[in-house]
Structure 1
């Protein structure tokens, strides 16, 4: 079982809402890719940036902030380059990051669940130069572990993987180790987080490190 993040997810953790099913050898659920001339996309990025500065001045700036041009471009792609839609979703993402305190997350903060080893980022990239996030399902016990810490660990691991993206790369590979998985490991809340990260789910038995 593999999970792949798509569309330059260096920053946001907000669900794209428009999906398309593609028939391939392995069934995939993917977000449509939209492209635009670099000059035109640059103009739209600046338009969003100016709009955010005027209408949402209180939002933070810098990385993952309202003036982060890489993040602005990601949301424009996600919203098919509709400025208003991109602004709406982007502001929600920035506010969510503030409320969740993503920038303050650390393994020390979630050490009780982190030390179980149920989720970690591999030391090396895969053969396609993607960071690899590994989840060991048999070590996840939702009835005995703090759900708030589990959620923080999930976000922390995705952020950590995205932080290892090489220049020009836009995907991470997630591998779920289901060996020994049983009823006690089942967690509907975690399953429901899949679209929150804007991800592709696929049965990729040939995922290779």
Structure 2
């Protein structure tokens, strides 16, 4: 973009009569035309998806996160490499899931009981890369005690909350799983798979990275079982220490309190 802009502006120290090289002029024209063309093609594909959804899936809801939400349509088109049919298939699944799961009905009150366990929260500050941060405290996750559906609702509520904090120009969030004190009773292959399924099917490309902090040896077998199921998403995972969190992801002022001691 900077290159394109530099070609559209004459250097302030050059006289008005100074000739702009023909090659630069051609490049500028090509870049502008390309930009307009890309924008036009994207808009055309969004409308194509929108019309296809209206024609073939008109029972799907309208409005935000519905079949006529053009921002959502464009995001799924990007995820599916601008294949209209693939985007429609994935969008249909995502919109149906939102409706069946009751995503829009989730609220602070509806997840209050599970939130009070302290097993997860959205950090008040962004990381150094400007991403919202979703933190999970694994030692407080007790699958034998907690209702799995309530766990899932809490997860989705916090994903929605984190995404609502995205600054302009940012597209993904950072997930941090604090594994200090993790024991076998905290292991939950089902929930870990659900978490990654949520990001793959319903919030594609919204998870920028997942940090596994201070992973004990007892966690490794669970990871080896889960990793093949995650496919390309496994590449988003990074095992790291608290020291790495402090030095690479936050400033002294924005560091989550649980990593300060």
Name the TM-score, length of structure 2 as normaliser.
Answer: 0.64
Deviation of 1:115 after TM superposition, in Å, equals: 0.2
Question: How far apart, CA to CA, are the structure 1 residues paired with 2:188 and 2:239?
Answer: 22
Report how many aligned residue pairs link the two structures.
174
Question: How far apart, CA to CA, are the structure 2 residues paired with 1:70 and 1:182?
Answer: 42
Question: How far apart, CA to CA, are the structure 2 residues paired with 1:161 and 1:75?
Answer: 19
Of the two, which has the highest radius of gyration? Answer: 2
Greater strand proportion: 1
Q: Which residue of 1 aligns with 2:182?
A: 181
Pairing of 1:38-53 with structure 2 (within 5 A): 38-53=39-54
Q: Which residue of 2 aligns with 1:108?
A: 109
Runs of 4+ in 1 over 6 A off after TM superposition: none
Q: Which residue of 1 aligns with 2:222?
A: none
Q: Which residue of 1 aligns with 2:237?
A: 202
Greater helix proportion: 2
- After superposition, the C-alpha distances for 1:5-53 in whole angstroms (9 at most, x for unaligned) are xxxxxxxxxxxxxxxxxxxxxxxxxxxxxxx922211110111111112
Please, which runs of 5 or more residues in structure 1 have no aligned partner? 1-35
- After superposition, the C-alpha distances for 1:89-116 in whole angstroms (9 at most, x for unaligned) are 1111111100100000123212221101
Deviation of 1:56 after TM superposition, in Å, equals: 1.6
Please, which runs of 5 or more residues in structure 2 have no aligned partner? 1-36, 201-206, 208-232, 251-261
Q: Which residue of 1 aligns with 2:71?
A: 70
- After superposition, the C-alpha distances for 1:38-88 in whole angstroms (9 at most, x for unaligned) are 221111011111111222222111110111111101111121211111111
